[in-house]
Amino acid sequence: EVQVLESGGGLIQPGGSLRLSCAASGFTFSSYAMSWVRQAPGKGLEWVSGISGSGHATYYADSVEGRFTISRDNSKNTVYLQMNSLRAEDTAVYYCAKDFHDFWTWGQGTLVTVSS
């Protein structure tokens, strides 16, 4: 069964840093791009970032460019989202999803709350 499982969310002060992880199973991880999509409380879906299967190509939303970094470790079947200089508006459930688009597989999400 294809699965992804996020972890690493929590409460963080504005300006702080947090690293999210997404562990994948049930498919050949290195053959697939992976993405992060977030959803602020009571709001819609917002694409955050994507990374190619090799890790050589990365893409970011303007809202996080320069603050967030996506990476992956294909030996561990895991993708990461390093989030720096966090702002209140980054508060959201962060979902990990398989592929660059047409997200067939999603995790259950991990909540990031940025607040003092």
Nearer to another protein, 56 or 101 (CB): 101
User: How far apart are CB 61 and another protein at their closest, in Å?
Assistant: 5
Q: What is the rounded CA–CA span in Å between residue 23 and residue 4?
A: 6
Pairing of strands 110-114, 10-12: parallel
Pairing of strands 10-12, 18-25: unpaired
Which range in 17-25, 26-34, 44-52, 75-83 contacts another protein by CB under 8 A? Answer: 44-52
Nearer to another protein, 17 or 45 (CB): 45
CA distances to 4, 9, 24, 67, 73 from 100, in Å: 15, 22, 15, 20, 17
- Check binding of 24 to another protein (CB under 8 A): no
Residue 30 φ/ψ, nearest 5 degrees? -70, -10
Which range in 18-26, 38-46, 70-78, 79-87 contacts another protein by CB under 8 A? Answer: 38-46
Residues near another protein (CB under 8 A)? 35, 44-47, 50, 59-62, 95, 100-104, 106-109
